[in-house]
Each structure stands twice: as structure tokens, then as C-alpha cells.
Amino acid sequence: MPSTRPFSPRPRLLGGILGGQVGKILRFGIVGGLGTVLNTLLVLAFLSLADRIHDINPGGHMAASLAAITAWVICCGVNYLLNAAWTFRRWPPTWRQAGQYYLAALSAFLIQIALLNLLLFFVQADRPVETAVLNGVAVATGSLFNYVFASFWVFGEKPAKSSR
């Protein structure tokens, strides 16, 4: 017997994958991936500009740190807006949520750095690739914490205030 369902131009597979809790996690990961690419491009642009305009050594700790911090602040804001609109569907954004998102992202980053250093304490990493793999484990763990913080604290359902 033929189906009586109307034709939908939206592919079911993609709609099914990006729907529900698993979809939320995937969307969060996509936003995070885009944020990582943007962060890398911004750091490259900032360091290239500093080198060209002010003849600052792009490999210096101060220049690299300032570029990385500036890029993180920008990318965190972009990720917040994308997650508010697409991942969690909480639009319009609020300053309170933005502040919570920055705190959640910073907390997850601190967990990531702590885990990386803990792993480096227990695992002897003599080559850059070994450290990069350990960093990948730390980034994945930090991302998981960031998702949990964002999902429950920043974008979670707020309990209704009871009127007494």
C-alpha cells in the first residue's frame, strides 16, 4: 500500500541525525569545529599583522599569548551566538547567558589544561605528535564538559518561579 505521507524536501536522514539529544551534541560539535578553524585563522592573522606592522616576533610568548587570548574571546562569542541560535534554539541571546557561556567555556578550558598536564605527568611524551595526541584527549574531555555546562547551566530549562 502506498504511503499517504506528503513529500518533504528535507532529507529524513539529516533531519533525524540532527534532531533530538544526539543532534544537539552533533550541532555543538560542528559549532566547536567551526570555532576551532576560526580561532586558528584569527591567531594566524593577528600574528601576521603584528609581524608586518610592528616587526613583533610571532613565535614570542607574549605575542602568541595575546593573539590566542584575543582569538579565544572572539570565537567564544561567535560560538555562543551559533549555539544559542542553532544548537539549543534559545534566541534571542541575553547578556546573562553570554556571561554564563564564557564562564562555562573558561571552566572547560581549565579542565582541559589540567588534564593535559596530568596526562603529561603520567605519560612520557618525547615527540610533538605524542603531546598532540594527549592534547586531543584533553580537548575532547574539555569539549564534553563544555557541552554539559552549556546544556544544563547556560541553555537549560529554567524552573518556573512559584508565586506565593
User: What distance in Å separates the CA atoms of residue 65 and residue 47, rounded to the nearest whole number?
Assistant: 10
Q: Is the pLDDT of residue 10 over 50?
A: no
Higher-pLDDT residue of 15, 46:
46
pLDDT band at 160 (very low <50, low <70, confident <90, very high): low
- Domain identity same for 87 and 105: no
Same domain, 100 and 86: no
Selected residue with higher pLDDT from 11 and 90? 90
Domain boundary among 39, 72, 92: 92
* Whether 76 and 102 share a structural domain: no
Expressed as residue numbers, the domain containing 48 is 20-92
Whether 41 and 103 map to the same domain: the answer is no
What is the model's pLDDT at position 11?
45
Residue after which a domain boundary falls, among 52, 74, 92: 92
Q: Which domain-ending residue is among 76, 92, 108? A: 92
20-48 pLDDT, tens per residue? 788 888 998 899 889 888 888 888 888 88
In tens, the pLDDT along 47-97 reads 888 878 877 766 666 777 788 788 889 989 999 999 999 988 888 989 999
- DSSP state for residue 18 in the 8-state scheme: T
Q: How many CA atoms lie within 13 A of 148 on its CB side?
A: 9
Handedness of CA 81, 82, 85, 88 (dihedral sign): negative
- What pTM did the predictor assign? 0.72
pLDDT of 53 reads: 80
Verify cis geometry, omega within 30 degrees of 0, for the bond prior to 92.
yes
Q: What is the pLDDT of residues 106-153, one digit of tens each?
A: 998 888 888 888 888 888 777 667 776 777 788 888 888 888 888 888
Asked whether residue 126 falls in the same domain as residue 103, the answer is yes
Q: Are residues 83 and 117 in the same domain?
A: no
